Amino acid sequence: MCSLPVMVSAITEADFAYTAKLSTANSTPYYELEIPQIVYLQVSRDDLGDMRVFNGAGQVVPHGLRNVTAEKITRLKSLTVPYFPLYKKADGNNGDLHLNIQRSASGEVIDIKSSAAITPETTQQLSGYLIDLRQWKQPVDKLKFSWEAAKDTSFIRKLNIEISDDLTKWNIISTDKALVNLSYQNHQLVEDVIKLSAPTSNYLRVQFADDKPGVAMTGVEVINTELSQQQKQNWKKATVVIKKDSAGEYLFQYPLKSSLRKLRIKLPENNTLVNAKVFSRDNETKPWLYRGSALLYRLTVDGVNIQQSELTVNSSTDNNWKLQIDQQGGGIGSGLPEIELAWQPQQLVFVGRGEPPYKLAWGSAQVIPITQNASRLFVGVGQGSNNTMLSKADWLEASVKPVNLAALETPAKPINWRQGLLWAVLIIAAAMLIWMAVRLMNKMSAE
């Protein structure tokens, strides 16, 4: 038990492949650093156990790892609100919509009609909706619409959205949103949620931007969302190649020693909709393991671009990955997909013991891993700029240099001389027993 501290203290920078200087402008007991991507590319171990922090005297200082987080509060509120259809003349010459508002004795709006609604039924055309937000009284992040559409019905309807407090003065807040209902090769694609950044107001007016008949709604829901604390993700572009003799299969590498969490796949041609599956394996001798699937699309209709490009995968550090595209409907067409990889960085927290400058060293197949979880190693050292015991260390990229690249090579297994000697003794003893037995048998035969 006493040999471990001696072995750890004997480790030097020369035991690692690379080093880089860290800048610590403030004087605090602890420092934190988001581990750069280059470290994940060059370490030998998935747990970053071949990484150390040295002080100015070349001594190893205690360190630990924890996930990088972005602190946000989650609050999700939604409400189904009243809405009223608006009409215009079927010839499209509606001009401004003059509203006839009917209120109850308490002042509540019970019916809203446009002036065009008094024309005969054959001359009216649904042009939009007025949404009553007076029960909501907070910003609107999303609008969720419900409608009934016959099977195989397809449409993409661009919207103009306005807000008002008095039904007289209107301010446009969006002209590039669209509702989508598409049917294609037994796939159903529905986009019924509109993302907004609408301030608090009493009314929203949603109008269809073209002269086609509007979509008959069955419900409108308003949503306000604040995201909660979530893990940070970094993105890295992958090099993609076509798998030989396998239509619709594409190979790429994941070289980082950090778990892959999500893919962002950009299809090469517009107006493409495909089923995609992702597989991975640690090396080429092992079978492919299923990691996730998604319906991917990239479409443009009436000048509106819609796409779904993200695919969440089961977390893995495998090096070899395969994207498999369903070839029904022609696959993705010509060209290669562009793939970005989302990975979760970690935060290094170390003790400011000794004098700076501090150095980070990494990349070794020979040192013993001693990495610990920072939440246990540094009790009471929280995250955030308000912590006076903790400050950030800056990564000096220009100071990165190779020190001992041979440290990345796996050392040869040492010869166990004690075990070899024991085997030699056993073999000699067995040989002597055999010799004695043969000699005894010969003597007995001679008698």
**Ramachandran area for residue 373 (φ above 0: left; ψ -120 to 50: alpha; else beta):** beta
Q: What would the mean pLDDT of 160-179 be, rounded to a whole number?
A: 91
Q: Which residue has the tokens 């197949």?
A: 365
pLDDT for residue 214 is more than 70: yes
Mean pLDDT estimate for the chain: 83
The pairing of strands 249-253 and 241-242 is antiparallel
Question: Exposure of 434 by Cβ count < 10 A (0-12 exposed, 13-18 middle, 19+ buried)?
Answer: exposed
Q: Give residue-wise pLDDT tens across range 90-125.
A: 665 544 455 566 666 655 555 565 554 444 454 678
Among 29, 63, 8, 42, residue whose Cα is nearest residue 347: 63
Weakest-pLDDT range from 7-11, 136-140, 199-203, 214-218:
7-11
* Unique residue bearing structure tokens 């027993």: 433
Average of pLDDT values for 170-174? 92
Burial 275-312 (b: 16+ CB within 10 A, else e): bbbbbbbeeeeeeeeebbbbebbbbebeebeeebbebe
Strands (E), 254-403: 260-266, 272-281, 289-301, 304-308, 310-316, 320-325, 338-343, 346-351, 358-362, 372-373, 390-392, 394-395, 401-402
The stretch 283-298 carries a mean pLDDT of 92
Return the percentage of the chain with pLDDT > 90, whole number.
38
Residue 217 in tokens = 């709604």
Higher pLDDT, 438 or 312: 312
What does the alpha-carbon distance between residue 115 and residue 95 come to, in Å, rounded to a whole number? 11
What phi, psi does 43 have (nearest 5°)? -70, 160
* Distance in angstroms (rounded) separating the CA atoms of residues 286 and 245: 19
pTM exceeding the 0.75 threshold for the entire prediction: no
Residue 5 pLDDT level (bands cut at 50, 70, 90): very low
Of 27, 36, 25, 68, nearest to 360 by C-alpha is 36
Q: Which residue has the tokens 């006839």?
A: 100
* pLDDT tens digit sequence for 27-84: 888 999 999 999 999 998 888 889 999 999 999 999 988 877 665 656 778 899 999 9
Instruction: Give the start-to-end residue ranges of the domains of the chain.
Output: 3-68+345-408, 76-226, 240-342
* pLDDT tens digit sequence for 180-213: 998 877 778 889 999 888 888 999 999 998 888 8
Average pLDDT for 239-257: 89
Task: Please say if the pLDDT value at position 17 is more than 70.
Answer: yes
Burial code of 140-166, b = ≥16 C-beta within 10 A, e = fewer? Answer: bbebebeeeeeeeeebbbbbbbbbbee
- Please state the CATH superfamily assignment of the domain spanning residues 76-226 in this structure: Galactose-binding domain-like (2.60.120.260)
pLDDT band at 259 (very low <50, low <70, confident <90, very high): confident
For residue 231, the model assigns a pLDDT of 67
Q: Across residues 280-306, what is the average pLDDT?
A: 89
User: Residue 424 contacts by C-beta under 8 Å, 6 or more apart in sequence?
Assistant: none
**Sign of the torsion angle spanned by Cα atoms 72, 76, 77, 83:** positive
Residue 256 reports pLDDT greater than 70: yes
211's CB contacts (< 8 A; 6+ apart) are: 92
Q: Give the per-residue pLDDT at 402.
A: 92
* Residue the block writes with tokens 């993705």: 332
The separation between the first and the last C-alpha atoms of the chain, rounded to the nearest angstrom, is 63
Read off the pLDDT band of 334 (50, 70, 90). confident
The answer to whether 50 and 365 have CB atoms below 8 angstroms apart is yes
Listed range (166-180, 209-223, 432-446) with the worst mean pLDDT = 432-446
pLDDT value of position 93: 52
Please give the pLDDT value at position 416.
67
In the predicted model, what is the mean pLDDT of residues 292-313? 88
Q: Which helix (H) or strand (E) holds 420?
A: helix 417-446
Tokens read off for 132: 């009553």
